[in-house]
Amino acid sequence: MRKLTNEERRVVLMLAAEIKSDDERHQLLADLDHCMVEATVPDGSILRFEIEGYQRPPGHGRGQYCGKNAFEVAGAVKDSDGSDMEVMLLADANHRIWEFEIVRYDVGPVINPDWNTFRVK
């Protein structure tokens, strides 16, 4: 378990700013101060959040946050080899942050996201 890197935190904050629900956005921001993440796959493309003192509901499922534009909150970033990738924040059934996920569209694992290329979709 570890804290988010400064770059990951900056991306989460940019995505959080796009969440339609004020309550969900405020809860996510509060949770960021009391959480750690753990990579669930070898390339680190899925980070699962553990929030101090919070127990996830059983069989909680997951889903993306709804954005102000009525679409799911997501962003785009380039991998270090120039491949396009999508970045998503996923929530549990209680609308608490669950995962930070990077989806690479080219074959192969995520290498090293170039966070300077990140933009909100």
Q: What are the tens digits of pLDDT across the range 59-116? A: 766 789 999 999 999 999 999 999 999 999 999 999 999 999 999 999 999 999 999 9
Report if residue 67 sits inside a domain. yes
| pLDDT digit string, tens, across residues 41-73 | 999 999 999 999 999 988 766 789 999 999 999
Count up the domains in the chain and report the number.
1
Tell me the one-letter amino acid at 46.
I
- Residue 1 in any domain: the answer is no
Q: In this model, does residue 4 exceed pLDDT 80?
A: yes
Residue 83 identity: S
41 lies in a domain? yes
The runs of H, that is alpha helices, within the chain are 6-16, 22-32
43 domain residue, yes or no: yes
Q: What is the pLDDT of residue 62?
A: 73
pLDDT tens per residue across span 22-42: 999 999 999 999 999 999 999
